[in-house]
Amino acid sequence: MSTTVIDHETPLRVTVIVGSVREGRQGRAVTDWFLGTAAGHDGLDLDVVDLADLDLPLVMPGWGGTPSPEAVSALAEVTPRLAAADAFVVVTPEYNHSFPAALKNVIDWHHGEWQAKPVGFVSYGGLAGGVRAVEQLRLVFAELHATTVRDSVSLHGPWSGLGEDGAPRDAGVCEGAAKGMLGQLAWWGRALRTARAARPYQG
C-alpha cells in the first residue's frame, strides 16, 4: 500500500468560513480581527471563504441528479478550497438560538470535504456570545465525520464589545482564547493530515 509522505513543516491549510450574509453584519469585522490574531501563529496558511460572496442556491438536486448551472458555478469556486483544507474555522453569529441558514447550506452541499478534519469556532452575538450556535454546529459536523476542537472563541455582545476597528475591547481575553483554540486546531490538523495520507478515511 503506497502512502504520501508529508513534511511536518508544511503549513497547515486552514479555511476560515464567514458564516453570516446579513446586511450590516459584524461577521467580517470579527473575521478580520481573528485573522490578525491567527497571523501570529506559525505554520498556518489561511484562506477566507466569505459566504456573502458565494451565490449558492438553496435548491438541491435529487439523489443522483445534476446541480443547476448556477450551483455548478458556485461550487466550482468553493468546493476545491474546502477539499484542499486541512482544517476549518467557522465564524458564526447566533440567530434565533442557532446558526445562519447560509452556513448550513454550504455545509449541506458538501460531504467528503469535511471528513476527518478538525473544525474550530469563533462565535459572536448577544449575551451568550454565539455559544448555542456552536453547540448545534458540533452536532452537524459530528454527522459529517469532522472533529470539532474543544475550545472556542466567544465574543459576547459584539455591538458593545467590539471597537470601531472590529477588535474586541477585552482583547487580552479574546486573543488568549483564540490562541488556545488554534493550538488545538493545529495539533488535530497535523495529526489527521498525517493519518489521511497514511490511510484514506473510510467514512
Confidence check: pLDDT of 194 > 60 = yes
202 vs 2, residue with greater confidence: 202
pLDDT in tens, 39-75: 989 999 999 999 999 999 999 999 889 999 999 999 9
| CATH level 2 (architecture), domain 12-57+68-198 | 3-Layer(aba) Sandwich (3.40)
Domain ranges of the chain: 12-57+68-198
CA distance 180 to 192: 19
| Burial of 61: CB neighbours in 10 Å, binned 0-12, 13-18, 19+ | exposed
pLDDT in tens, 65-113: 999 999 999 999 999 999 999 999 999 999 999 999 999 999 999 999 9
Confidence check: pLDDT of 166 > 70 = no
Confidence check: pLDDT of 1 > 50 = no
